[in-house]
């Protein structure tokens, strides 16, 4: 009993080092990694405690980022929240392994370490706002699954009810969670003897999944624009051959960097720091454990590896159906826990094939290689962000705008001629203007992608026609801005200019209409807390 207690204490010490490992892995990641599309809508909407993406049939899509609205420094708060969700997901994976494979604590520790270390191709993991959003989805799905498994081992019906209640919340946050949640009963069906209670537990869980599926399908069957995003952006694919190819590529994106990453990626400071800390934590986790002594357990490792790969595939599943983009973008969140278990199982299985004295060293070296490549890949992806982030251009443009138009009269439309290429879609600029001017003004980028907020210039002015599905949930409505309510700004060469005359590049102002931007601009009477973001 004393040895078991000591082993548990050392394992706990090892797990307590995971936050430091995550910090090392993500020390280079900047809070200013902006993709250019969704950051400002999420910032502005979450600041108003709006929780849904109605155009994507995700009524709880922003639920998990609301805590970031409580902190003053918004980008850092999103970064902190993403950190918390990744760490919590790692600990949930450890707990799941501990419950299903109680004699394999080292495997659970390695899997938890790889949850925080291994997402080698998903650049969204470095976008602080998207990482908080998708990290929240992953945490919610894992929390539901772990609650389901815990309720079985504790034989507590109330815990099962709570886990089942979390299912529709997770699924209505993000439809990609459905496949992962559906696979949860397999964890018990493949590891526990069949019984009437197991049938009841699995049936209750699948009933909860069915309720979530019905809640998802009802808006779709009712018509409207509740799947406008999936229909216009993702464009679902149902050809089996095409889908099979997409799945194969996602596994390639997730595993190929282990052998194809250039050696130069390992020549960064994060790699020795991550490997050094992992060595200490691995030694603590291994201390007092006899897990690697059982040479025949490699068969169990093979099964757990296959199960992990299966759950990684479930993590890809619904998104692969709806996205043909040849990248791993946003696809290594839900699939990450399963892949971490698969890699940890392979590490343990290969180590068992080595001579007894070398097994611990082999297991460490194999796991440390994944940690090292993960750290190097993170630095390399951050370097890509440094070259491609939309943050510098967008912040430069917005700083220039608020310096020349400190405040705008209610009902003003800022029409942007974006010659500097700061904005890739009108909806990002629209929400940025709403956020920085506290909803007294709106924005439109001439010639940019006009999803969500299409706008047209006509005889009466600029008519904004928000998609009908977002009007109620986001408190927006169609509106025609007269020419004397429009302020035209030009962003070019890193500078913003408020145009005093209507530009020739736009359709001409109709006879009798007046363009007078000066009448819309006024001095700022009170500080705007939201503008701290521009610093």
In this predicted model, what pLDDT tens digit does every residue of 26-72 receive, in sequence order? 999 999 999 999 999 999 999 999 999 998 889 999 999 999 988 77
**CA 386/CA 379 separation, integer angstroms:** 10
For the residues 426-451, what does the mean pLDDT come to? Answer: 95
In the predicted model, what is the mean pLDDT of the chain? 91
Q: Tokens 């394999």 map to which residue?
A: 104
pLDDT digits (tens, 9 = 90+) for 240-257: 888 888 889 999 999 999
Kindly report the number of other CB atoms within 10 A of residue 495's CB atom.
12
pLDDT top residue among 334 and 241: 334
| C-alpha span between 81 and 64 (Å, rounded) | 9
In the chain, % of residues over pLDDT 90: 75
**Predicted local confidence at residue 223, as pLDDT:** 61
State the average pLDDT over residues 132-160.
Answer: 96
- pLDDT tens digit string along 184-207? 999 999 889 999 999 999 999 999
Residue 402 confidence (pLDDT): 96
In the 3-class helix/strand/coil scheme, how is 155-180 assigned residue by residue? CCHHHHHHHHHHHHHHHHHCCCHHHH
* pLDDT over 90 (residue 227): no
pLDDT exceeds cutoff 90 at 137:
yes
pLDDT at 254 (0 to 100): 96
Flag the least confident range among 221-230, 247-256, 332-341, 423-432: 221-230
Produce one character per residue of 64-93: b if its CB has 16 or more CB atoms within 10 Å, e if not.
bbebbbeeeebbebbbbbbbbbbbbbbbbb
**pLDDT exceeds cutoff 50 at 1:** no
Encode pLDDT of 467-504 as tens digits. 999 999 999 999 999 999 999 999 999 999 999 999 99
- Using an 8 Å Cβ cutoff, are 64 and 237 in contact? no
């Amino acid at each position: 009993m004393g040895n078991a207690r000591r082993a548990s204490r050392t394992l706990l010490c090892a797990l307590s080092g995971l936050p430091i490992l995550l910090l090392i892995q993500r020390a280079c990641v900047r809070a200013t990694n902006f993709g250019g599309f969704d950051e400002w809508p999420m910032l502005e909407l979450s600041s108003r405690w709006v929780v849904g993406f109605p155009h994507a049939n995700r009524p709880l899509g922003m639920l998990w980022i609301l805590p970031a609205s409580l902190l003053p420094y918004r980008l850092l708060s999103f970064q902190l929240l993403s950190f918390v969700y990744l760490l919590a997901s790692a600990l949930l994976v450890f707990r799941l392994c501990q419950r299903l494979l109680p004699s394999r604590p080292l495997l659970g520790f390695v899997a938890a370490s790889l949850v925080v270390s291994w997402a080698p191709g998903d650049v969204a993991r470095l976008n602080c706002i998207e990482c908080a959003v998708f990290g929240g989805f992953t945490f919610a799905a894992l929390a539901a699954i772990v609650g389901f498994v815990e309720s079985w081992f504790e034989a507590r019906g109330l815990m099962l009810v709570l886990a089942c209640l979390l299912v529709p919340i997770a699924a209505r946050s993000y439809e990609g969670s459905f496949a992962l949640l559906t696979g949860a009963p397999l964890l018990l069906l493949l590891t526990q003897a069949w019984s009437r209670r197991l049938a009841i537990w699995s049936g209750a869980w699948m009933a909860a999944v069915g309720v979530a599926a019905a809640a998802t399908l009802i808006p779709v069957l009712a018509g409207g624009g509740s799947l406008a995003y999936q229909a216009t952006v993702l464009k679902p694919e149902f050809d089996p051959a095409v889908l099979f190819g997409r799945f194969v590529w996602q596994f390639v994106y997730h595993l190929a960097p282990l052998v194809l990453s250039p050696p130069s990626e390992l020549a960064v400071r994060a790699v020795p720091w991550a490997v050094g800390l992992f060595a200490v934590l691995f030694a603590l986790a291994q201390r007092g454990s006899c897990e690697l002594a059982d040479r025949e357990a490699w068969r169990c490792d093979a099964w757990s590896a296959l199960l992990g790969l299966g759950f990684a595939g479930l993590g890809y599943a619904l998104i692969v159906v709806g996205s043909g983009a040849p990248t791993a973008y946003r696809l290594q969140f839900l699939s990450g826990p399963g892949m971490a278990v698969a890699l940890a199982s392979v590490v343990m299985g290969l180590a068992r094939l080595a001579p007894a004295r070398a097994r611990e060293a082999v297991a460490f070296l194999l796991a440390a290689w994944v940690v090292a490549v993960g750290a190097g890949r993170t630095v390399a992806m951050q370097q890509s962000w440094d070259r491609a982030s939309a943050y510098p251009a967008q912040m430069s443009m917005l700083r220039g705008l608020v310096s020349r138009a400190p405040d705008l009269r209610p009902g003003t439309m800022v029409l942007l001629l974006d010659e500097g290429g700061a904005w890739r879609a009108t909806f990002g600029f629209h929400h940025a203007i709403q956020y920085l001017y506290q909803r007294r003004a709106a924005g439109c980028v001439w010639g940019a992608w006009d999803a969500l907020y299409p706008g047209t210039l006509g005889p009466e002015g600029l008519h904004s026609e928000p998609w009908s599905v977002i009007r109620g949930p986001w408190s927006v409505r169609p509106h025609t801005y007269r020419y004397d309510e429009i302020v035209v700004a030009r962003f070019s060469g890193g500078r913003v200019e408020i145009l005093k005359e209507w530009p020739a590049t736009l359709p001409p102002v109709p006879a009798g209409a007046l363009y007078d931007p000066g009448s819309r601009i006024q001095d700022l009477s009170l500080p705007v807390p939201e503008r701290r973001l521009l610093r």
